[in-house]
């Protein structure tokens, strides 16, 4: 069943029973409002560079697939395995939103989503999802450069309002999802991360930025052949890496390293395309899921508030309030059905794409993470063979 048929069927569905249950479940104490544990970022404009930056400032960034550290109470109360699958894919979807934001800022070199930390990158960014629903997103972001210097170690949060979910996020047969006109409801959060990275970069001198690139080069060389290049680097007790020496510019071994690095870039570009395809396949369903999550949360909050206020009204007004609460209950049941159907449909839609994308890449097999590990092993072996022939 495609999404057009699904939404049409859901919109035609109604729940007309359980009136007594609705009235009984409405009478309860209103919970104390829960304040955000992390201050929301508010409205944030992207720090966009209108100038063409020079090489030292164009640092390459690797964004590792996020970790899932959601608190149990922040996950939906129904949906079971379907929602677990959405969560599993969400940690690959969110990094790509951040990747697109960093690229659009025109402040950085190549920005890629990767399954693991990559020794060829100037900056490595990792993240953990602390809370994620249609109303709030909380992420813990850490960023280090190749020299082991910490750029960011910060928790970010953003909250949504009705205006963040325009009609384009409510699917109807005549209103198809248009990714080109869509702005992520939590875009302010991603803008803030970019802006904080730019601010961290401005605190470094041009020479320090140049050193990051040189360290990246030698860290990658040492990853290919520790015995040949480890002596060029020094790591102190705090994990900071500094250069001890650099090979000569005409060193044949370094020429081989550069050749291998170009091959590696081609491979991780393919890896990034994998996450791009996953992102594009996920986006329409994920956006709808988020919209319905937001609607469900706001409906539940409104219903609880109405139940709490019942004793303040006259009998006639109270009767009207009961009718309103029953209508809320009826729609909440429709939302629950829609949530289940959307989650199930999401997984049916995304599963074939994941299976296809997990097929062989450059002659490799297994999951993307397994292919990435295989590729790095092959490059090390190839480097050893080619170096021995010099």
In tens, the pLDDT along 288-320 reads 788 877 887 877 776 666 665 555 555 555 545
Is residue 358 within 8 Å of residue 203, measured between CB atoms? no
Closest-CA residue to 186 (of 343, 41, 292, 72): 41
What is the per-residue burial (b if ≥16 Cβ within 10 Å, else e) of 228-244?
Answer: bbeebbeeeeeeebeee
Is residue 221 within 8 Å of residue 120, measured between CB atoms? no
Any idea of the CA torsion for 199, 204, 205, 207, to the nearest 10 degrees?
Answer: -130
Name the band, by pLDDT with cuts 50, 70 and 90, for residue 112: very high
Q: In the block, which residue shows the tokens 């729609």? A: 331
Helix (H, G, I), strand (E, B) or coil at 241: strand
Helix (H, G, I), strand (E, B) or coil at 111: strand
- By the 10 Å C-beta count (0-12 exposed, 13-18 middle, 19+ buried), 167 is classed as exposed
Name the band, by pLDDT with cuts 50, 70 and 90, for residue 202: very high
Beta bridge pairs of residue 374: none
Rg value, the chain, Cα: 26
Name the band, by pLDDT with cuts 50, 70 and 90, for residue 11: very low
Q: In the block, which residue shows the tokens 């991603």? A: 190
pLDDT at position 79 = 47
| 289 to 8, 212, 294, 328: CA distances (angstroms) | 16, 41, 9, 20
User: Is residue 365 pLDDT above 80, yes or no?
Assistant: no
User: What is the Cα–Cα distance from 68 to 132, expressed in whole angstroms?
Assistant: 10
Name the more confident of 218 and 287: 218
The angle at the Cα of 97, spanning 176 to 343, to the nearest 5 degrees, equals: 55
pLDDT in tens, 244-281: 999 988 898 999 999 999 999 988 998 899 899 889 88
Name the band, by pLDDT with cuts 50, 70 and 90, for residue 137: very high
User: What is the Cα–Cα distance from 171 to 10, expressed in whole angstroms?
Assistant: 11
User: What is the Cα–Cα distance from 272 to 246, expressed in whole angstroms?
Assistant: 31
User: Is residue 6 pLDDT above 50, yes or no?
Assistant: no
Q: How many domains does the chain have?
A: 1
Q: Print the domain residue range for 84.
A: 3-388
Helix/strand/coil (H, E, C) string of 50-81? Answer: CCCCCHHHCCCEEEECCEECCCHHHCCCCCHH
pLDDT in tens, 35-84: 558 999 999 999 999 998 998 999 999 999 999 987 654 444 444 555 66
- What's the average model confidence in pLDDT over 205-228? 95
Residue 160: DSSP 8-state: -
Closest-CA residue to 246 (of 192, 195, 297, 210): 210
Count the residues in the chain: 390
What are the residues whose beta carbons fall under 8 Å from the beta carbon of 60, sequence distance 6 or more? 108, 109, 110, 111, 112, 120, 121, 122, 123, 216
Helix (H, G, I), strand (E, B) or coil at 214: helix
What is the per-residue burial (b if ≥16 Cβ within 10 Å, else e) of 114-126?
Answer: bbeebbbbbbbbb
Q: What single string gives the DSSP state of each residue in 252-304?
A: HHHHHHHHHHHHHHHHHHHHHHHHHHHHHHHHHHHHHHHHHHHHHHHHHHHHH
- pTM, two decimals, is 0.79
User: Is residue 334 pLDDT above 80, yes or no?
Assistant: no
Helix locations, the chain, DSSP H: 3-12, 19-26, 80-104, 187-202, 206-224, 226-229, 252-308, 315-357, 368-388
């Amino acid at each position: 069943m495609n999404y057009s048929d699904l939404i049409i069927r859901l919109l035609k569905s109604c729940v007309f029973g359980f009136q007594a249950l609705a009235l009984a479940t409405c009478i309860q104490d209103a919970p104390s409002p829960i304040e955000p544990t992390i201050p929301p970022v508010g409205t944030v404009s992207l720090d966009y560079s209108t100038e063409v930056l020079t090489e030292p400032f164009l640092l390459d960034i690797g964004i590792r697939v996020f970790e899932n550290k959601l608190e149990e109470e922040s996950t939906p109360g129904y949906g079971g395995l379907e929602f677990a699958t959405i969560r599993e894919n969400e940690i690959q979807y969110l990094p790509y939103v951040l990747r697109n934001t960093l690229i659009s800022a025109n402040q950085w070199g190549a920005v890629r989503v990767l399954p693991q930390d990559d020794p060829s990158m100037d900056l490595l960014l990792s993240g953990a999802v602390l809370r994620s629903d249609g109303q709030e997103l909380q992420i813990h972001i850490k960023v280090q450069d190749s020299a082991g210097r910490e750029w960011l170690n910060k928790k970010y949060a953003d909250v949504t309002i009705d205006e963040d979910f325009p009609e384009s996020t409510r699917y109807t047969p005549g209103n198809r999802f248009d990714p080109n006109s869509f702005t992520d409801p939590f875009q302010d959060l991603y803008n803030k991360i970019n802006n904080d990275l730019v601010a961290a970069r401005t605190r470094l001198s041009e020479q320090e930025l140049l050193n990051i690139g040189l360290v990246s080069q030698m860290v990658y060389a040492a990853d290919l052949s520790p015995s040949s290049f480890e002596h060029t680097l020094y790591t102190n007790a705090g994990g900071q890496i500094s250069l001890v020496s650099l090979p000569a510019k005409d060193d044949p071994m370094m020429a081989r390293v550069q050749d291998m690095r170009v091959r590696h870039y081609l491979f991780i570009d393919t890896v990034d395309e994998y996450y791009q395809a996953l992102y594009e396949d996920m986006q329409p369903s994920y956006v709808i899921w988020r919209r319905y999550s937001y609607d469900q949360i706001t409906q539940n909050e409104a219903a609880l508030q109405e139940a709490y206020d019942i004793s303040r009204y006259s009998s006639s007004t109270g009767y009207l309030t009961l009718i309103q609460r029953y209508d809320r209950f009826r729609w909440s049941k429709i939302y629950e059905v829609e949530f289940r159907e959307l989650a199930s449909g999401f997984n049916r839609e995304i599963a074939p794409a994941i299976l296809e994308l997990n097929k062989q890449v450059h002659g490799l097999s297994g999951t993307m993470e397994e292919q990435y590990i295989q590729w790095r092993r092959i490059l090390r072996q190839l480097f050893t063979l080619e170096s021995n022939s010099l």
